[in-house]
């Protein structure tokens, strides 16, 4: 009996302390559930949860990038030889580093096999079409890899936040997009979706670099500048987009993009794991002997116009 009384007293003290702590947290605005619900404005990228790492050394980055690009060449040959149809979407905030990753992927690949799609503002005719129509025309044929630098998710991002579509059009997109992507997958397309996550501070740093660098200034559009004032709206739009379109058949893969070099290596490395490929033996190439000159006389070299040798 005495033991029972003591246990009840200990349990009561424990619950009392727990209730006091809960009331204290609520008073201080430390409700963990609410903090999690607003994660994109508070924790927009994994580095804020996992801690920031030391900058990647240039030599390590170059060596790893070269190794991964060689694997991409093997993957490209596999895609072509086996008639695969691969689509990779690159989405994320402005200046998140999507273009840099795409550039490193395509650097060593054959543009006849791997092509980049970066559509501009829809024309008046395209505005009257089925929303997905202009993207469908860019989908791959057998043996092609297509990289979308922004995609049909414009409707869930910039169009939603900036008011370029109606509420009905937006809601219809959220309903139809998962079915559209499942249809693509059933047709034999391999669909991969990446979201590049960048912090507020890093985005501002990159914007300033673009402003101060004439070679990069073209990357900063009026829409990019205006998006800074809509940071939280974009966060909410991204969260809702994920809630509807992070489907089992085509999940979203989030890339921590605060460190550009690591983001490039991590994304390419991950992409290579999503497609089962093998190295295809390349036949040995031998150059034929050059044709001998019999009776051919070249015109005078002075009749040709050469580029000035400034360097």
Range of the domain at 137: 75-274
**For 216, which DSSP code?**
T
In order, the DSSP letters of 141-196 are -TTEEEEEES-GGGTTTHHHHHT-S-HHHHHHHHHHHHHHHHHHHHTTEEEEEEEE
| Domain presence at residue 105 | yes
pLDDT in tens, 10-60: 445 544 544 544 444 444 443 333 333 334 434 445 655 556 678 788 899
CATH at residue 162 = 3.40.50.300
| Domain presence at residue 49 | no
- Of 172-176, 209-213, 275-279, 303-307, minimum mean pLDDT range: 209-213
| Domain presence at residue 116 | yes
Q: What is the pTM of this model?
A: 0.80
| Domain presence at residue 30 | no
pLDDT at 57: 86
Structural domains of the chain, count: 1
pLDDT at 50: 59
- Is the pLDDT at 71 greater than 90, yes or no? yes
How far apart CA 86 and CA 141 sit, in angstroms, is 9
Which residues share a beta bridge with 114?
145
Give whole-number Cα distances, 146 to 37, 135, 180, 181, in Å.
34, 11, 17, 15
pLDDT in tens, 102-156: 999 999 999 999 999 999 999 999 999 999 999 999 999 999 999 999 999 999 9
- Of 27-41, 80-94, 190-204, 290-304, minimum mean pLDDT range: 27-41
- Is the pLDDT at 178 greater than 90, yes or no? yes
Cβ atoms of residues 92 and 102 within 8 Å = no
| Domain presence at residue 246 | yes
| Domain presence at residue 12 | no
| Domain presence at residue 47 | no
């Amino acid at each position: 009996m005495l033991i029972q009384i003591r246990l009840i007293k200990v349990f009561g003290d424990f619950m009392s302390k727990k209730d006091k702590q809960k009331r204290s947290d609520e008073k201080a605005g430390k409700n963990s559930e609410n903090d999690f619900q607003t994660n994109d404005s508070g924790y927009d990228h994994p580095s804020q949860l996992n801690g920031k790492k030391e900058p990647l050394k240039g030599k390590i980055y170059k060596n790893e990038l070269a190794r991964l690009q060689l694997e991409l060449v093997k993957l490209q040959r596999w895609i072509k030889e086996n008639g695969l149809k691969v689509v990779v979407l690159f989405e994320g905030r402005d200046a998140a580093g999507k273009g840099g990753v795409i550039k490193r992927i395509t650097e060593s690949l054959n543009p006849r096999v791997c092509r980049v799609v970066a559509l501009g503002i829809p024309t008046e005719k395209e505005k009257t079409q089925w929303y997905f129509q202009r993207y469908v025309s860019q989908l791959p044929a057998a043996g092609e890899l297509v990289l979308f630098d922004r995609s049909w998710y414009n409707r869930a991002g910039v169009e939603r936040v900036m008011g370029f579509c109606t509420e009905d059009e937006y809601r219809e997109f959220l309903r139809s997009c998962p079915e559209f992507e499942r249809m693509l997958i059933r047709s034999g397309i391999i669909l991969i979706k990446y979201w590049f996550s960048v912090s507020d501070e890093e985005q501002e740093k990159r914007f300033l670099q673009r402003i101060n660098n004439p070679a990069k200034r073209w990357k900063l559009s009026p829409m990019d500048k205006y998006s800074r004032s809509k940071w939280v709206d974009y966060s909410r739009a991204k969260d809702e987009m994920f809630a509807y379109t992070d489907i089992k058949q085509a999940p979203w893969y989030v890339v921590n993009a605060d460190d550009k070099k690591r983001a490039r290596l991590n994304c390419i490395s991950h992409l290579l794991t999503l497609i089962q490929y093998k190295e295809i033996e390349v036949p040995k190439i031998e150059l034929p002997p050059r044709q001998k000159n019999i009776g051919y006389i070249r015109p005078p070299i002075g009749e040709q116009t050469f580029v000035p040798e400034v360097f």
